[in-house]
Amino acid sequence: MKKICAAVVLLVLLPVFFTGCGSSNDNPAEPKPTATPAPVFIDDFEDNDLYNALDEWAVSVTGNNTTAACGVSSAPPGYGSYAMNVSGTVTADVAAGSSYIGRVFINTGDPVLAVPADITAYDKMVFSLSFSGLITGTAACELDITLSGGSSGASYGLLSGFAPSFQEYSVPLEDFYISNGTLADLKSALDKVQMYITLQGGENSAADYQFYLDNIRFE
């Protein structure tokens, strides 16, 4: 009689035990959300000067008749108090194959003097700008971006003409062309951001231009 009772108790307890194990696996712990890192700002120009997170903004030109004046001015409504402004005339007077070019370079300064930024955790470059002008002669104007860091460099063709409306741009870093090294190396020690204007066409074609830049950062 004792053996029969023991068997009944065991049969009653087993379903309870296995049901308990099954219910614990039906509700796994949910993964905790990963915090989004704050953007790395190169410059928002709100300090009303040309110093940036890497070094100091600088301009240079290619050509004997190309000019560039760089400063900080009032930003368009909705973009803070200040933005960088570069203006002048770019002239196509340097021979380049069958045509002529002129260039204006706008960059964050000397990479040798820069305090490199680690942007490893970020995947896009974000900024606001406007680029307007008037061309005299037969020529085309474009705007490109280059980045350097570590022993690597990358480039991106942003505009193939003027874009006079001030607006925000977001460029995935994976869309940049890696001219040397690797993107990972560049991101580990970013030391220079550069945008440059190119006018290409007939000899002595020219363009009076206005360039505004604000809130340049990596997200």
CATH (domain of 121): 2.60.120.260
Evaluate whether residue 28 is within a structural domain.
no
Task: Give the pLDDT of residue 35.
Answer: 72
Evaluate whether residue 34 is within a structural domain.
no
Residue 184, pLDDT above cutoff 80: yes
Burial level of 212, CB count in 10 A (0-12/13-18/19+)? buried
Residue 76, pLDDT above cutoff 90: no
Positive or negative CA dihedral for 93, 56, 144, 177? positive
Number of structural domains the chain divides into: 1
Evaluate whether residue 20 is within a structural domain.
no
Residue 117, pLDDT above cutoff 80: yes
**Rounded distance, CA 81 to CA 78, Å?**
9
Task: Give the pLDDT of residue 17.
Answer: 44
Evaluate whether residue 25 is within a structural domain.
no
Residue 198, pLDDT above cutoff 70: yes
Tens of pLDDT, residue by residue over 122-179, are 999 999 999 999 999 999 999 999 999 999 999 999 999 999 999 999 999 999 999 9
Average pLDDT, the chain: 89
88: closest CA among 48, 139, 133, 130?
A: 133
Evaluate whether residue 173 is within a structural domain.
yes
Residue 29, pLDDT above cutoff 70: no
Non-local (6+) Cβ contacts of 47 within 8 A are: none
Task: Give the pLDDT of residue 50.
Answer: 98
Evaluate whether residue 131 is within a structural domain.
yes
Residue 70, pLDDT above cutoff 90: yes
Evaluate whether residue 53 is within a structural domain.
yes
> Residue 78 — pLDDT band, cuts 50, 70, 90?
confident
Evaluate whether residue 198 is within a structural domain.
yes
**Rounded distance, CA 104 to CA 191, Å?**
20
Give me the domain span that covers residue 149: 40-218
Residue 131 CA, distance from chain mean position: 17
Q: Which helix (H) or strand (E) holds 94?
A: strand 94-96
> Residue 5 — pLDDT band, cuts 50, 70, 90?
very low
Task: Give the pLDDT of residue 79.
Answer: 87
Tens of pLDDT, residue by residue over 49-66, are 999 999 999 999 999 999
| Cα-based distances in Å from 186 to 6, 109, 150 | 72, 16, 5
Task: Give the pLDDT of residue 7.
Answer: 44
Radius of gyration in angstroms for the set of CA atoms belonging to the chain, rounded to a whole number: 29
